[in-house]
Amino acid sequence: MGLLSLGTPYEWKDAAQYAAHVRKNGIEQLINIYNAHKDKKTTQLLWGDEVEYMVVKMDDKKKQALLSLNQELILDRLTAQEEKGLLNDDNVSFHPEYGRYMLEATPARPYTGDFDDILRVEGNMLARRRIAQSSMADREFPVTLTSYPRLGAPGQFTSPYYEPKGAASRSLFLPDEIINTHVRFPTLTANIRRRRGEKVAINIPVYKDEKTMEPFNDPTIPHERNLFPKEDAEAKTAALVDHIYMDSMGFGMGCSCLQITFQATDIHEARKLYDQLTPLTPILLALSASSPAYRGYLSDQDVRWNVISASVDDRRRSERGLEPLKEGEQFISKSRYDSIDRYIGEDLLEDKARAAHLNDTDIAINDELKNDLEKAGFDELLADHFGHLFIRDPIVVFSERLEQDNENDSDHFENIQSTNWQTMRFKPPPPNSSIGWRVEFRPMEIQITDFENAAFAIFVVLLTRVIISYNLSLLIPISLIDENMKQAHARNACREAKFWFKKDLSDVKSREYAKMSVDEIINGCDGFIGLVPLIRRYLHQMGLNVDTMCRLGRYLDLVSQRASGKLETNATWIRNFIRKHPDYKNDSVVSAEINYDLVAEVEKLSRGEDWNGIGKGILGGFEYEKE
């Protein structure tokens, strides 16, 4: 289980006073890490995934699937097993997450790049699910849904039941009891709200079905509540017509996702991988789409990204451009949870014109800290990168951890670094460790089955091998990636949207970009080879034996068929399941009964049942392989 600093967190007003202190020392810690590790080489590819689960409790009598708030109990059991060494052979490790109904699991030791190891991923994921399940109560299950359709819907959606009246979030819909009880999490929630000056406001277009209220003015928003007078009144202006309105961090951070971390051979390769994977982030977001419903309604989008982005948006109105800036403030174009803003690869240092062409958006930078970094020997791109991350305030500051040993600690650095939740993360080594420079790929949505999760993880890891072996360049201007991120949110984006993509991946300097569908990008089209064919070519050149080739092919086939439209995305499948349910009234409402049947089916699919039955749309033609 990951370690969380323990201590006494400051309320926002006090934390704010230490913001500059945390940033200054954080940058000093970064400089020390950089100096100690900048020449470090690691010979082996190491990598690992993170899978996030929601724990559901099935109430079969009432036909309700409730989010179980048993995280501590379950993690205590798992940690006890871990500490006794009982999970060593399974190579699994469990961690807490924001939602008190959530769990995260990773391999305990990262995988290598050996094909035998890559082929262990699915089995490892299945083992995690089995072990998680074994520590749960009767009728509790780990499910891998990205957004929980009835989170925050009227009535009971958690077990046990709590009324939404928490002081941390002040949400009209979500009780604070859904938040991880470690003091860091309610403090994050409250301080984001306090820094922002109002509650977060998430508005997602509602899916307009035949009988959806027109215009859609959500009747379930309790406008009359007067528990927290200032915040309770906000919904009147913050909730938009024709949108599903959400007002709390839990709606975003309570979503699940699939993340992949790679260790590069050195800082140079890490910078390159960070850049090269960036153009793939919106594409893989659209391809892995699996979240069509929020707060009891079908939405007109298929992915979670803008929900989670808005759910932790701590910018003040002035910083968002809605009011004049106050002294010391800068305009900030994006939430802390958003797509990245700058490429950092060293080849751009030599070609300023190309760098300006690719890094083509205006961004806020902490100039003072950028200057500190440059004085310490950071080049302009790396100084810009961290100078940009360090425009943010620390949200949680522990009084016991104000003074740190900057040679050996990295908490101040991590405080800012790890609350910049972006599509990619450039991870420097921890101080005094043998770990190398790593890069994390963060846009993907979690899939219902471990076969799918393994397929996406393996697809991305193989792509990194291809990019490095063939020295490809996928870079397109950041402004086009921002445009692609918006595109990726559209309903059916995987099948219907067009994304900017580089036409000739082998011509590093080419500035020819074309709008392509996910199918064209993944499977190829006239004049473009496609990413799956590229990987297949690479695997052939590696001279893999037939068995390995076949087994890897199963994963590539899934990705390919999702892209071609032969199979649906999880989002489309979930949407169809809801719309075809006998209890659905064509009014966009996901009832408790529909939710129960959906969760029951999703749980079955995760155990290998119904793949060629109800699950045919997403898994048809594939066989479940046991652990």
Positions in the binding site for ligand ADP (CB under 6 A): 46-50, 95, 106-107, 110, 259, 261-263, 435, 438, 440
Which residues, at least 6 apart from 607, have a Cβ–Cβ distance to it below 8 Å?
A: none
Q: Which is nearer to Mg ion, 4 or 233 (CB)?
A: 4
Instruction: Select the residue whose beta carbon is closest to ligand ADP and give its number.
Output: 48
Which residues, at least 6 apart from 599, have a Cβ–Cβ distance to it below 8 Å?
A: 56, 58, 65, 143, 145
Identify what 394 binds: Mg ion, ligand ADP, none; CB under 5 to 8 Å per kind.
Answer: none
Comparing CA positions, the residue from 9, 132, 116 lying closest to residue 68 is 132
- C-alpha–C-alpha distance, residues 140 and 280, integer Å: 36
- C-alpha–C-alpha distance, residues 267 and 40, integer Å: 8
Give the DSSP H/E element, type plus range, for residue 309. Answer: helix 305-311
Comparing CA positions, the residue from 152, 173, 148 lying closest to residue 65 is 148
CA dihedral 321, 322, 328, 334 (to 10 degrees): -40
Alpha helices in 359-432 (DSSP H): 367-375, 380-389, 411-417
Q: Which is nearer to ligand ADP, 132 or 605 (CB)?
A: 132
Identify what 263 binds: ligand ADP, Mg ion, none; CB under 5 to 8 Å per kind.
Answer: ligand ADP
CB of 417 to ligand ADP, least distance (A): 10
Q: Which is nearer to Mg ion, 421 or 513 (CB)?
A: 421
Q: Which is nearer to Mg ion, 95 or 193 (CB)?
A: 95
Identify what 107 binds: ligand ADP, Mg ion, none; CB under 5 to 8 Å per kind.
Answer: ligand ADP
Q: Which is nearer to ligand ADP, 261 or 569 (CB)?
A: 261
Instruction: Work out which of 28, 49, 50, 82 binds Mg ion, going by CB under 5 A.
Output: 50
Between 104 and 143, how does the x/- string for binding to Mg ion read (CB under 5 A)? Answer: x---------------------------------------
Contact in structure between 180 and 98 (CB atoms under 8 Å): yes
Q: Is 350 exposed, middle or buried (0-12, 13-18, 19+ CB in 10 A)?
A: exposed
Quote the tokens at residue 587. 């009014």
CB of 208 to ligand ADP, least distance (A): 37
Comparing CA positions, the residue from 305, 329, 303, 170 lying closest to residue 238 is 170
Alpha helices in 427-490 (DSSP H): 450-469, 478-488
CB of 43 to Mg ion, least distance (A): 24
Measured in degrees and rounded to the nearest 5, phi and psi for residue 276 equal -65, -30
CB of 438 to ligand ADP, least distance (A): 5
> ω before 160 within 30° of 0 (cis)?
yes
Q: Which is nearer to Mg ion, 438 or 491 (CB)?
A: 438
- C-alpha–C-alpha distance, residues 202 and 308, integer Å: 9
CB of 440 to ligand ADP, least distance (A): 6
CB of 261 to Mg ion, least distance (A): 6
Residue 259 touches Mg ion, criterion: CB under 5 A: yes
Q: Which is nearer to Mg ion, 259 or 335 (CB)?
A: 259
Q: Which is nearer to ligand ADP, 261 or 299 (CB)?
A: 261
Identify what 370 binds: Mg ion, ligand ADP, none; CB under 5 to 8 Å per kind.
Answer: none
- C-alpha–C-alpha distance, residues 563 and 288, integer Å: 10
Count CA atoms closer than 13 A to 578's CA, side-chain side. Answer: 27
Identify what 49 binds: ligand ADP, Mg ion, none; CB under 5 to 8 Å per kind.
Answer: ligand ADP
CA 259 to chain CA centroid, Å, is: 7
- C-alpha–C-alpha distance, residues 166 and 555, integer Å: 44
CB of 437 to ligand ADP, least distance (A): 9
Say which amino acid occupies 388: H
CB of 441 to ligand ADP, least distance (A): 10
Identify what 435 binds: ligand ADP, Mg ion, none; CB under 5 to 8 Å per kind.
Answer: ligand ADP
Q: Which is nearer to ligand ADP, 264 or 303 (CB)?
A: 264
Residue 28 touches Mg ion, criterion: CB under 5 A: no
CB of 414 to Mg ion, least distance (A): 9
Residues 67-106 that bind Mg ion (CB under 5 A): 104
Q: Which is nearer to ligand ADP, 42 or 333 (CB)?
A: 42
Identify what 78 binds: Mg ion, ligand ADP, none; CB under 5 to 8 Å per kind.
Answer: none
CB of 442 to ligand ADP, least distance (A): 8
Quote the tokens at residue 337. 């949870």
Q: Which is nearer to Mg ion, 48 or 530 (CB)?
A: 48
Place of tokens 């961090």: 249
Residue 218 touches Mg ion, criterion: CB under 5 A: no
Identify what 319 binds: Mg ion, ligand ADP, none; CB under 5 to 8 Å per kind.
Answer: none
CB of 403 to ligand ADP, least distance (A): 24
CB of 114 to ligand ADP, least distance (A): 14
Q: Which is nearer to ligand ADP, 122 or 440 (CB)?
A: 440
Question: How far is CA 365 from each of CA 26, 81, 283, 380, 484, rounded to the nearest angstrom?
Answer: 16, 46, 28, 12, 24
Q: Which is nearer to Mg ion, 259 or 406 (CB)?
A: 259
Per the document, the length of the chain is: 627
CB of 492 to ligand ADP, least distance (A): 30
- For 68-112, the three-class secondary structure string (H helix, E strand, C coil) is ECCHHHHHHHHHHHHHCCCCCCCCEEEECCCECCEEEEEECCCEE
Identify what 47 binds: Mg ion, ligand ADP, none; CB under 5 to 8 Å per kind.
Answer: ligand ADP
Contact residues: Mg ion, CB under 5 A: 50, 104, 259
